[in-house]
A and B are shown apart, each in its own frame.
Chain A
Amino acid sequence: MSENVLELKNLTMKFGGVTALNEVNLVVKKGEILALIGPNGAGKTTVFNVITGVYKPTSGDVVFQGKSILGIKRHKITKLGIARTFQNIRLFGESTALENVVTGADVHSKSGVVGSIFGTPRSRREEKANLERSLELLEFIGIKKRAGQLGKNLPYGDQRRLEIARALATNPKLLLLDEPAAGFNPAEKVALAETIKKIRDAGYTILLIEHDMSLIMGVSDRVVVLDFGTKIADGTTKEVQNDPRVIEAYLGAPADAS
């Protein structure tokens, strides 16, 4: 059994004349926090989109837990165990926070339309379990008191945390976080870092896109650096910090997102 939760093999993604990803190879090990960094436009979110099945890569392979997931439908990929958050928050704004999370938890329910109409024992059981689990997740992430509020009315920081809770509700083996700290002040970033570590300690594997260097260095086990769609560094945080190519790509100054 491979220790690698995810492998990207020679992944190439072209949009017309633009090469967004160029023969990218990377590996995410079980239980680690891997950071994916790079200047804007480097292709980081594209990686997420390819993994989750939003884009079909031009060539290369995405292997999840030993099996290729190329061509598998998006909702099935989530069911297999990959969940994500979004760079620009994409909550279900008209639904309450709790509803958002339960929607995520629904993914593993077996009962559907017919079960809900007739109130089958299984459907009632699953409903109850999903609800309880969702409340636990809201508590875990620290926004339980927001449970009844509409997603669009939550303060910014809580919205970001809600997105994470929703993704966790799908019970993923791999969690993709896309710039979870965007717009946070330094205190919030510290709290987020703690939360991310807490999530990892609870058993999740995390692939993280971020711009804030101190957050990355404080949280990640390993770092992969992309520039113009090509991987230019891959190693521990210390190794990458001192890599001259990385420094050059960022022109010397780490981009601080706030």
Chain B
Amino acid sequence: MLKLMTGMNLRDRGAAYWERSPKWKRVALAISFIAFFYALPFLNNPLINTPGSDFQSVLFYPVGMYVLMAIGLNIVVGKSGLLDLGYVAFFAIGAYTMAILGTKTSLNFWEILPIGVGLAMLSGVLLGSPTLRLRGDYLAIVTLGFGEIVRIFAVNTDSIGGARGIAGVPTPPDLFKAKFTILDPKPYYWLLLTFTLLIIWMVRRMAARRPGRAWDAIRQDDDVAQLMGINTRKYKVWAFVLGAAVAGVGGVIYASQIMSIVPDQFNLNISILILACVVFGGIGNLWGVILGAVLLAFTPERIRFLSQPRILVFGIALVVMMNLRPDGILPKKKREHFDPNWDKVEESGEGAIK
């Protein structure tokens, strides 16, 4: 409990420090932060070393991948309140697109990437359009079903590899002297990190503006949101599609790193794991979700005996979190003031509550 309490203070204190700082300081902080994450693979500290598996490889998968997917799922579950239990399906679609096009055509990674993302988004629209008007628990079951159907389809369709999957997925072409091979996870990690940062930037922009407000309204009270003029259907599908796109990016990169995929890799447990990251981090809370994903992905690697009953631990964690700390490990701010993105508001001097 103590750790959780300091977590809350940390977030508030951190955020307060951020807002107090002048622009140059913020830029400096941001740059050093980002530089730290790029330098991470070179860190060799006994405290964070992962026994049994290569640290750099772990950074890519599961840590980096879970973080990316948690950010994506957060848009759907966290911000919009839509319980998607089949998120792994979009990851699978991205991975399979890379695998199939990579092995059957001469397209390279960069050409396949937009196709994979596009297909994931398309499935988001196809799945979401009819089902997003269903109530919460029904939506959960239907999305669960979709995730399973994608897997079952992949297992039973021999033209895309059947149960044995697809092997020989090509790696991305060399980029700025970085070679993408199975031996070195670093370039893959940096690639993933870059996309993640880009996506974080996009998500924050949306969250602070109209889409974010619409999703918050939908999550809190869908009926009232409609009555306030929000086309809830449109925004729900958008949330779904954006989440799918993020998972698609992850899938494409994943397939090109691991070079061979089997359908049973894309199972329900992954959907649940990512959901656990979102829940653990605090539903809707972007930084909390990232931290949650890092913790949940990294800890079983660091503490090996946790690795085997990993999913059991996650399941228990879900129950415990929901019952004891539904706001996550970094609960949303309780302090009240304006978001610093709204410059005009700060200028008018309404920054503090009297």
Contacts and interface: CB of A to CB of B under 8 A. Distances in A.
A and B form one complex: yes
A196 to B, nearest CB: 20
A73 to B, nearest CB: 8
B210 A74 contact: no
Contacts of B353: 145-146, 148-149
Contact of A107 (B211, B230, B342, B350): B230
Contacts of A116: 205-206, 209-212
Contacts of A98: 338, 345
B354 interface: yes
A72 B4 CA distance: 48
- Bin the interface of chain B by size: 35 or more
With a 10 A CB-CB cut-off, give which of B221, B228, B229, B342 has the most chain A CB atoms.
Answer: B229
Contact of B210 (A73, A106, A166): A106
A123 B229 contact: no
Contacts of B206: 113, 116-117
A205 interface: no
Nearest to A95: B216
B231 A75 contact: yes
Contacts of A147: 338, 345, 350
Secondary structure at chain A's binding surface: helix, strand, loop or mixed?
helix
Contacts of B232: 75
A78 B225 CA distance: 10
A184 interface: no
A148 B337 contact: yes
B345 A112 contact: no
A170 B229 contact: yes
Interface stretch (A7-15, A17-25, A128-136): A128-136
Given A95-B216, A144-B350, A106 B229 contact: yes
Interface in A147-179: 147-150, 153, 166-167, 170
Contacts of A148: 336-338, 350-351, 353
A75 B230 contact: yes
Nearest to B202: A117
For the complex of A and B, 4 pairs with smallest distance between CB atoms: A107-B229, A78-B229, A116-B209, A74-B226
8 contacts: A75-B230, A106-B213, A106-B230, A109-B210, A112-B210, A113-B242, A148-B351, A149-B336
